[in-house]
Amino acid sequence: MPQILDVLTTTRSTVPDVRRVAAHLTTEATALLTLLGNPAIDATNWRAEHAIRPAVVTRKVCGGNRTRRGADTLQVLASVLRTLDQRGLDPTDVFTLLLQARRAIVAPALQTPLG
């Protein structure tokens, strides 16, 4: 872990929000700086945001969702569908695998980062 992350994650605080962020940084430290070692990984999420933009526009034009749960579900589905499209995968195959699994899994086709 880079030195600055060491300082951020080992500094003790009595402020709950500071402790929460430090715990999150500790958990995500390896993923946080992955882009520095792999030039194929974008430094921003612009491509992902741009990819799901049509779903966001549709949601706004159609008046959104009736519940927070519905909005969250649509957001996840839109993201997964876009990822499958980018990887040239058939959503029916992936969703069938996920629905038939005995426990929650990440589809093997989605475990490898693009790039």
pLDDT of the residue at 79: 84
What value does the mean pLDDT of the chain take?
82
Region of 78 please: left (phi>0), alpha (psi -120 to 50) or beta. Answer: alpha
Q: Are 22 and 14 in contact (CB under 8 A)?
A: no
DSSP, collapsed to helix, strand or coil, labels residue 45 as coil
Query: How far, rounded to the nearest angstrom, does the alpha carbon of residue 23 sit from its chain's CA centroid?
Result: 18
- Output the CA–CA distances (angstroms, integers) from residue 28 to 50, 51, 115, in the order listed: 24, 24, 20
Query: d(Cα 23, Cα 17) in Å, to the nearest integer?
Result: 10
pLDDT digits (tens, 9 = 90+) for 19-48: 888 888 888 877 777 777 788 888 888 888
pTM: 0.51
